[in-house]
Amino acid sequence: MKYIEGSVTAAKGFKASGVHCGIRKNKSKRDIGLIYCEKKCTAAAVYTTNLVQSSPITITRKNLADGYAQAVIANSGNANTCNADGDKKAWAMCELTAKELGISADDVIVASTGVIGQVLPIEPIAEGIPALVKELSVEGSTDVAEAIMTTDTVKKEVAVETVIGGKTVKIGGISKGSGMIHPNMATMLCFVTTDAAISAEMIQKAVKTAAESTFNMISIDGDTSTNDMLSVMASGLAENEEITAEGEDYDAFVEALTAVCRDLSRKMAKDGEGATKLLVCKVSGAKTEKDAKGVAKSVICSSLLKAAMFGADANWGRVLCAIGYSGCDVDVNKVDVSFASEYGTIDVCKNGAGIDFSEELAKEILIRDEIDILVSLNDGEGYAEAYGCDLTYDYVKINGDYRT
Question: CA 248, CA 226: separation in Å to the nearest integer?
Answer: 36
Please state, rounded to an integer, the average pLDDT across all residues of the chain.
91
Question: CA 352, CA 241: separation in Å to the nearest integer?
Answer: 52
Topology, domain 278-400:
Ubiquitin-like (UB roll) (3.10.20)
pLDDT for the residue 404: 57
pLDDT for the residue 229: 84
pLDDT for the residue 134: 98
Question: CA 309, CA 78: separation in Å to the nearest integer?
Answer: 33
Question: CA 303, CA 318: separation in Å to the nearest integer?
Answer: 9
pLDDT for the residue 399: 67
pLDDT for the residue 81: 86
Q: Cite the beta strand spans of 48-132 per DSSP E.
A: 68-78, 108-115
What stretch(es) of the chain map to CATH 3.10.20.340?
Answer: 278-400
Q: Is the pLDDT of residue 51 over 90?
A: no
Convert the pLDDT of each residue in 229-259 to its tens digit: 899 999 999 999 999 999 999 999 999 999 9
Question: CA 232, CA 72: separation in Å to the nearest integer?
Answer: 10
Helices 317-324 + 303-310 axis angle, to 10: 160
| Catalytic choice (150, 162, 187, 226) | 187
What stretch(es) of the chain map to CATH 3.60.70.12?
Answer: 2-270
Average pLDDT value for residue range 49-68: 89
| DSSP-assigned beta bridge partners for residue 345 | 340
Convert the pLDDT of each residue in 323-369 to its tens digit: 999 999 999 999 999 999 999 999 999 999 999 999 999 999 999 99
Residue 121: how many CB atoms within 10 A of its CB?
14
Higher-scoring residue by pLDDT: 178, 176 = 176
Average pLDDT value for residue range 162-176: 96
pLDDT for the residue 392: 85
Q: Is the pLDDT of residue 216 over 90?
A: no
pLDDT for the residue 268: 85
* Banded pLDDT at 226 (limits 50, 70, 90): low
Average pLDDT value for residue range 251-273: 91
**CB-CB contact of 395 with 277 (8 Å):** no
Question: CA 31, CA 11: separation in Å to the nearest integer?
Answer: 24
**CB-CB contact of 253 with 243 (8 Å):** yes
Higher-scoring residue by pLDDT: 307, 272 = 307
pLDDT for the residue 52: 73
Q: Is the pLDDT of residue 54 over 90?
A: no
Residue 153 annotated among the catalytic residues of the structure: no
- Return the amino acid letter for 388: G
Asked if the 2-270 domain carries CATH number 2.40.128.520, the reply is no
Range of weakest confidence among 256-260, 275-279, 367-371, 397-401? 397-401
Question: CA 31, CA 82: separation in Å to the nearest integer?
Answer: 20
Average pLDDT value for residue range 245-274: 92
